[in-house]
Copies of this chain bind each other. A is one copy, B any other.
Amino acid sequence: MGYFEEKKFKMTPQRAAILGFLDGNKSHPSADDIFEAISVEYPMISRATVYNTIEVLKDNGLLWELSIDDERKRYDPNTNMHHHLICTKCRKVVDIHIEFDLQVPEDALGGFKLTGRHVEFYGLCPECADIGDKQK
């Protein structure tokens, strides 16, 4: 992400560490996952800084906030159009890069102006499905 070089945001070691952790990350981490990961290198980092950086990235379209976990917000540094496959047991999230044809007739929109779309597939990941099988 060469974003911070172009715009007027201060690059700090903490932010660099967060960007490094997020770059190419496909684990859809929560704020606390990010905090824990960065804490390994920067034990003094605070959650406020993590939330602060997330906010800046979100505002500039570099990070998506996902509402796919009931318990906490999850973040996705992949901001290209894609969808998600979610394990309902362990909450693992996998990207699905497929374009679906989702036409909605005008009269079903009730006057809404569409700006985006997102498909969530629910299921059991291989690991969780295995555990379920063994318990039978």
Contact = CB atoms under 8 A, between A and B. Distances in A.
Interface stretch (A10-18, A37-45, A92-100): A92-100
Given A65-B70, A73-B70, A102-B100, A122 B111 contact: no
A121 B94 contact: no
Copies of this chain, whole number: 2
Interface in A33-69: 65, 67-69
Contact of A116 (B65, B110, B117, B122): B122
Interface residues on A, range: 35 or more
A113 interface: yes
Contacts of A116: 88, 121-123
Interface of A: 65, 67-70, 73, 85, 87-88, 94, 96-98, 100-102, 104-105, 108-126, 129
